[in-house]
Amino acid sequence: MTVKQVIMSKKLFSVLFAMLTAFGASAQDIDDDGASDEQSGVSFYVGADISSAYVWRGVISYKGANFQPCLEFDAGNFALGLWNCNDFAGNLKELDIYASYTVADQLTFTLTDYYSKDENSTDPVAPYGNYYAHETGHTFEFSMDWESNFGLDASMNLLFYGADKKWWLEGTDDEDKMNKNAYGTYFELGYTADVKGVAFRPCVGAVFNQSTWYGDESGSHKGFNVVNIAVKGSRDIKITDRFSLPLYVSFGYNPQANDVWAFAGVTIGL
């Protein structure tokens, strides 16, 4: 790594550390009486999903069975977590780090660092520690998620740094611009309703600009494109009086790629 790359990496780490510190300071505020950890809402979550496929916002990321462990620390309105996805053959490796802050139990702001690597891919991915803008395999995203108290939810997600580049310009007259950020922006609207103990959530998601993160076809389309029309059903399956196993199934259609998908999974959480 060159001196310039080291400087860029340090600058990025400094910004992320400052944001996480600010989040943490807000989360650690307690009342004048001095609330305990339990009273202030400090907790840990350890869980894992076993899923028949990995679909992300209407895009089929992996078609086979996979394992998705998660570790999260919560303190008040602040959350800091790790999410991982691995296929059982050991070829797919994804590690995401996120920090979020929730306002008034309805609006959540999240900063996510995505990093994934497919051992079968012919496209090389930079090592995990490389955060240099034109080389890194990391992609940073800022998200806003809103949940109403009557079932409606909406989210806006912006990829703003890293591997979301304008790769479709390679070999064109604008090839010099292909290392510029594409700023892929995704919006999703959903609604959750309980029907006889089953939580159903239909949703529609769209991309507002070109970004190869949302499928191979996205590079050949300009402007607004619907990429995700889906419905998810979930229900807790009672095993014993003290233990239930959450089961979910999801079906979807990606109009941009003209492709359909379906998967099922279970969640184990502590």
Q: Is 233 helix (H, G, I), strand (E, B) or coil?
A: strand
pLDDT interval class at 148 (50, 70, 90): very high
Query: Minimal CA–CA distance to 141: which of 119, 117, 161, 167?
Result: 161
pLDDT digits 0-9 by tens, 95-128? 999 999 999 999 999 999 999 998 888 778 999 9
**pLDDT (average), residues 199-205:** 98
231-248 mean pLDDT: 92
Q: Which residue has the tokens 């009672």?
A: 238
Give me the mean pLDDT over the 85-95 stretch: 92
pLDDT tens per residue, range 62-85: 999 999 999 999 999 999 999 999
List, for residues 14-68, the tens digit of each pLDDT value: 555 455 455 445 445 544 444 445 555 899 999 999 999 999 999 999 999 999 9
What is the average pLDDT score of the chain? 86
pLDDT at 269 over 90: no
| pTM, 2 dp | 0.84
CATH number of 3-269: 2.40.160.40
DSSP-assigned letters across all residues of the chain: --HHHHHHHHHHHHHHHHHHHHHHHHHT---TT---TTTTTEEEEEEEEEES-EEETTEEEE-S-EEEEEEEEEETTEEEEEEEEEETTS-EEEEEEEEEEEETTTEEEEEEEEEEEETT-SS----TT---TTT-SEEEEEEEEEE-TTSEEEEEEEEEEES-B-GGGTTSTTGGGTTSB---EEEEEEE-EEETTEEEEEEEEEESS--GGG-GGGGG--S-EEEEEEEEEEEEEE-SSS-EEEEEEEEEEETTTTEEEEEEEEEEE-
Q: What is the pLDDT of residue 16?
A: 53
End-to-end CA distance of the chain: 41
